[in-house]
Amino acid sequence: MSGPSQRQGVMVLNAVPGLGPVRISRLLDAFAGSAAAVLEAPASALRQVEGIGPETSAAIVSWRSHFDLEREEEQLARIGADYILKGEAGYPERLAELPGAPLGLYIRGCVTSCPSVAIVGTRRATLYGRRVARTFATELARAGICVVSGLARGIDGEAHEGALATGRTLAFLGCGLDVDYPPEHAELAQRISQSGAVISEYYLGRKPDAQTFPQRNRLISGSADAILVVESDVKGGSMITASFAAEQGRMVFAVPGRIDQPSSRGCHALIRDGATLAACAQDIIDEIRHQFPRRAIKTPIGAARPEQTELGICAAPSLSDDERKVLGALEDGAVLHPDAICRICVMAQPAVMSALMMLELKRLVARRPDASYEAQGRATRQI
């Protein structure tokens, strides 16, 4: 194989232990922007670059001993992926704007230019959180917004599934593209790559670890116009992503939950500290339209335009079958406790409580001081 091209040279540098985007950029700057020149330079010259010590310079000089470039190219072709440099077509535009963005990305699928929202949350999601994530993702994708997430268990998986139902989604991995993690999402990753893209900054075969996921999180937030946190404890990985989003100048939204639920503490802390409360997908759509008036966002096809309640908060028009049943039990001014709704709807209590929480979030029902529920405003017109 002849000397590496610029693309191949960056791919090699990306796989050198101890090198990240910042140090690779310094090396390129020191060698007239040529990755091949960096790989051909003697260790003594490499050590003149800030941050490049003896171990790193030795690893660069001996790169052929620990990285098989030809095999990497063959594996890329085998899995139907490519390595795309920053600035080239197919590299996420919003991510490319950030300092410290990866100089290249492994991408399986296609990245197009469109508004995007990252949806993140805990891996140990509640039924409520899963339903919220899928509902938001479905409505955002229907409006032409690409949903970005991390392919993890819980909220991430629900966000991808919801987006695939009506539009596009991107998944950023904390491992190599050829590593199935989590293994149960291998088929989901394949479907994502067929209508969107699965993306990683890591070389093929790279296993996930405690460092790769926080690094991955900065890409999730950096590639989006806004981020939505659905469920997270105060020390969850999603809070790291939210922190990255704030540093990157992205809008941060959070969905409220039960005050006695640990998985809601992070969202409540974000709202307390200035994040925007999201009661429905339209809250996010409207804000993106306001912040980025030139970004093309469609009115969701097949969905009625959300109405305004007396509080001025939009009520999401789409309802699940369980939500329709529960809302139907509260028509004509009925005020009922959950156990009565269970009997009327012939539903298990967990399903009823989940539907009530979703309806309350959508401002279609209200919980009274005695723990009973009633329909709110013109909610019954949604039945």
Same domain, 284 and 139: yes
Query: Residues 339-358, buried b or exposed e (16+ Cβ, 10 A)?
Result: eebbebbebeeebbbbbbbb
Tally of domains within the chain? 3
Q: What one-letter code names the amino acid at 192?
A: I
Q: Determine if the peptide bond prior to 182 is cis (ω within 30°).
A: yes
Same domain, 282 and 326: no
Q: Among 202, 152, 204, which Cα is nearest to 178's?
A: 204
Same domain, 39 and 112: no
- For residue 184, what is the domain's CATH number? 3.40.50.450
* Structural domain boundaries enclosing 57: 1-67
User: Confidence band (pLDDT; 50, 70, 90) for 381?
Assistant: very low
Burial class (CB in 10 A: 0-12, 13-18, 19+), 108: buried
pLDDT at 228 over 70: yes
What pLDDT was estimated at residue 306?
40
Residue whose pair of structure tokens reads 């809302």 in the numeric block: 327
User: Confidence band (pLDDT; 50, 70, 90) for 35?
Assistant: very high
Residue 247 lies in a domain: yes
Tens digit of each residue's pLDDT (9 = 90 or more) over 252-280: 999 999 888 889 999 999 999 999 999 99
How far is residue 237's CA from residue 123's CA, in Å, rounded to a whole number? 9
Tens digit of each residue's pLDDT (9 = 90 or more) over 146-190: 999 999 999 999 999 999 999 999 999 999 999 999 999 999 999
Residue 22 lies in a domain: yes
- Total residue length of the chain: 383
Residue 186 lies in a domain: yes
Q: Among 94, 104, 118, 110, which Cα is nearest to 204's?
A: 104
Same domain, 147 and 267: yes
Residue 299 lies in a domain: no
Residue 32 lies in a domain: yes
Same domain, 265 and 154: yes
Residue 206 lies in a domain: yes
For residue 380, give Cα distances in angstroms to 13, 128, 306, 329. Answer: 60, 22, 14, 10
Residue 102 lies in a domain: no
Same domain, 219 and 331: no
- For residue 47, what is the domain's CATH number? 1.10.150.20
